[in-house]
Amino acid sequence: MNIIQSNVGYPRIGKNREWKRLLEKYWSKKITRVTFELEMKKLRIEYLKTQKALGVELIPIGDFSYYDHVLDTAVMFGLIPKRFQSMEAASLEQYFAIARGTDQHVASEMTKWFNTNYHYLVPELKEVTPTLTHNRLLTLFNEAKYELNIVGKPVIVGPITLLSLSKGYQTEDFKEIIPQLIPLYIKVFKELEQAGAEWIQVDEPILAQNVNQEMIELFKEVYANFNDALPELNLLLQTYFGSIDHYKEITQLPVAGIGLDFVHDNGENLKQLRTFGFPQDKFLACGVIDGRSIWKSNLLDKYEHVKELSSHTQNLIIQPSCSLLHVPVTTAGEKNLDQEFVDALAFANEKLEEVALLGNVIRNREKQEELKKYSYSIIEFHKNTNRMNVEVQRQLANVDVLATSRTPFEERKRSQKEKWQLPTLPTTTIGSFPQTKEVRTNRLSYKKGSLSAEEYERFIEDEIKKWVTIQEEIGLDVFVHGEFERTDMVEFFGQRLNGMEVTINGWVQSYGSRCVKPPIISGDISFAEPMTLKETVYAKSLTSKPMKGMLTGPVTILNWSFERDDATRKEMLNQLALAIRVEINELETHGIEMIQVDEPALREGLPLKEKEREAYLTDAVTAFIIATGGVADTTQIHTHMCYSEFDEIIETIDALDADVISIEASRSHGEIIHTFERFDYTKDIGLGVYDIHSPRIPNEQEMRQNLERALRVLKTNQFWVNPDCGLKTRSPEETIEALKVMVETAKKVRSTLKAGVTK
């Protein structure tokens, strides 16, 4: 039997987020370009050495990125938005301008990478002719080959997935654009083959979605072209995030290997393998180690799984189910958690150890007893009854009683209008204000014990007071307390809810240099004590303006956490909803009667298969209503969503029955406006009028254009004016100046509306 141990992709950020710090030093001009590139190279080399030491035989090359792997591919093939084409082609300045914007031009749109919490930059094809600007994979391949004697496996986003994820062309032009890309890919592949590459991984995760026969015919055409030009090269067509449709046709494509996800496929890939077999002239790259989970594998079970797969083919590549980009680097630094808990975890490095151990046992280099020894900790962890909560289980059994709708919206709106007396086009923010170096330093001092709880609380109160004053000076209509006590909108709640654990260094990349530390759901979830009450009530005491309470919703907490592997998603979701409901009741009881329950991750959790979506969306709506449905008519429930193709889920958004929803819209304003041309949305809404993910400060004309465009399809009495997301990543100066422009723009548009002027 031919066995190869492989990795699909490795985390970029480093054990201690070294990658993130280098990026931010370069952007702030604290280091030169030469220093930046040399230090990044050191990280890249370290990652390759680590994977080799862990027993990986096919080590990915090109998964390392300065920002985003989709952006890397787009730039390599000259897919440069027209507004950035005057800059030096494929330069670092152009690359980061596309990602972050400039004073003159907005950044490219950013959206979710399939159903993960990773964000990619959307390639723009309008007025662009694809061309090979440089073969970055060749440079990286030669680096590994000559400096480390590693013959790596170059990794690239495949042409059909790349084009499917792009914008700026008509659907009917898809088949005309693909032929422009094929020769560019062939040139890249030929140069890699000539340099000594033995395998090239071509990622086509689009195959995990519902693809039609026309798309399958296009796959046949594209990969036949590759095979004709490169008959001796081993191409590995890699899929992940679910099962593939058209199994027989995909596995017959003229490639040397097919990568399938045997973890998140709901058993479909295995079912098709049993039914149709597998070509004997190909390698089956079997993704049996979960690349998105942080739990150890029961390798006894995985061994039986691989044994069955080996009965269908003698050529196996053992690997994670997808890139390890979605998990932290290593558990080695987790010293503050119970050892029993840590022993049940496996991050990226530990997962590669699992790949190697599984491969070695199958090759008979290790005895099966090693699998039993390794799996003992996760088996025992699952037996631990302390993770169960009888009262929570009782509440779950009766949860349907709470899943009832509120009074009809129009009735609530009349009550809320009378209570709040807000102006037309009320202005507000999404929740967070800048997490400055001072905020982070004081939080760290508190964690280390060098700052007392009383001193830290005073510091937080001072920050709240400062930003309440700033909001008064800017002239916002509805205030927030700023969330200075929170590291992250999900981690914060993970630290305070029973049944969740938070790591020390379990960071993963979200977008660019933005990293998050997802909490781990370890048992039944329940409310412990008020989580947001103290800071919100204090902020409210400082102003006569409405103060929003800020919570994260159950769907987002679940989607941005690492889930249990021994409970259903619906169970975890409803447990979270019950806990958030208690917190909302606490806030309302203490006079906080505007409460924002953010659900930015609702769309990203949408299953890739259409047949699974209805159940997911139904469960999401039910959980939101359980959480928010117990308030008075005059209590205004807000929510926030971002990075979504809203047209797909607008009916679900309406069904949430929130009084006000704010939507990230600045980078994709036109697309979202089209949704509201189709759907008569009657509740209040704020479409973000400027992009907070870029450091540039937009001018009044840009904001006014976004605002007035929205008012063409939305009524003035339902529209709110806000940024597109929270402001924690921006500097105080950027935040204040942008909000001043936003408020002034809203006031001027209000004046034109009062005067009956339309523009």
- Under DSSP, the state recorded for 692 is T
The burial class, CB within 10 Å (0-12 / 13-18 / 19+), for 433 is: buried
Quick check: 84 and 97 in contact, CB under 8 A? yes
Q: Was 569 annotated as part of a binding site?
A: no
Q: DSSP string covering 147-193, please?
A: HH----EEEEE-HHHHHHT-BSS-GGGHHHHHHHHHHHHHHHHHHHH
Q: Was 515 annotated as part of a binding site?
A: yes
Per DSSP, the three-state class of 297 is coil
Q: Was 17 annotated as part of a binding site?
A: yes
Residues taking part in catalysis: 693
The burial class, CB within 10 Å (0-12 / 13-18 / 19+), for 678 is: exposed
DSSP H stretches of helix in 644-731: 650-655, 669-678, 700-710
How far apart are alpha carbons 8 and 3 in whole angstroms?
16
The helix or strand, by DSSP H or E, that contains position 538, with its residue range, turns out to be helix 533-540
Q: Was 112 annotated as part of a binding site?
A: yes
How far apart are alpha carbons 497 and 531 in whole angstroms?
9
Residue 181 vs residues 50, 226, 359: alpha-carbon distances, Å: 34, 11, 37
Neighbours of 397 (CB within 10 A): 8
Of 662, 597, 654, the residue nearest 628 (C-alpha): 597
Q: Was 220 annotated as part of a binding site?
A: no
Per DSSP, the three-state class of 261 is strand
How far apart are alpha carbons 465 and 459 in whole angstroms?
10
Residue 460 vs residues 387, 437, 469, 483, 554: alpha-carbon distances, Å: 33, 14, 14, 9, 26
Report the DSSP beta bridge partners of residue 552: 598
Q: Was 725 annotated as part of a binding site?
A: yes
Q: Where are any strands of DSSP class E within 229-340?
A: 234-238, 257-261, 283-289, 315-320
Q: Was 391 annotated as part of a binding site?
A: no
Of 467, 470, 479, 469, the residue nearest 428 (C-alpha): 479
Torsion of CA 742, 744, 750, 752, to 10 degrees: -120
Q: Was 740 annotated as part of a binding site?
A: no
Per DSSP, the three-state class of 447 is helix
Q: Was 20 annotated as part of a binding site?
A: yes
Q: Was 678 annotated as part of a binding site?
A: no
Q: Was 18 annotated as part of a binding site?
A: yes
How far apart are alpha carbons 158 and 156 in whole angstroms?
6
CA gyration radius, the chain: 26
Q: Was 664 annotated as part of a binding site?
A: yes
| Angle subtended at Cα 433 by Cα 519 and Cα 667, rounded to the nearest 5 degrees | 85
Per DSSP, the three-state class of 434 is coil
Q: Was 286 annotated as part of a binding site?
A: no
Neighbours of 710 (CB within 10 A): 22
Q: Was 640 annotated as part of a binding site?
A: yes
How far apart are alpha carbons 61 and 150 in whole angstroms?
10
Residue 245 vs residues 211, 216, 580: alpha-carbon distances, Å: 7, 9, 38
* Residues 6 or more apart in contact with residue 509 via CB below 8 angstroms: 11, 12, 13, 118, 325, 515
Amino acid identity, residue 544?
S
DSSP H stretches of helix in 330-479: 339-342, 348-362, 369-383, 390-397, 409-420, 437-448, 453-474
Question: Hunting for tokens 């009965």 — which residue is that?
Answer: 311
Quick check: 197 and 155 in contact, CB under 8 A? no
Q: Residue positions in the annotated binding site?
A: 17-20, 112, 430-432, 483, 514-515, 560, 598, 604, 640, 642, 664, 725
Q: Residue positions in the annotated binding site for 5-methyltetrahydropteroyltri-L-glutamate?
A: 17-20, 112, 514-515, 560, 604
Q: Residue positions in the annotated binding site for L-methionine?
A: 430-432, 483, 598
Q: Residue positions in the annotated binding site for L-homocysteine?
A: 430-432, 483, 598
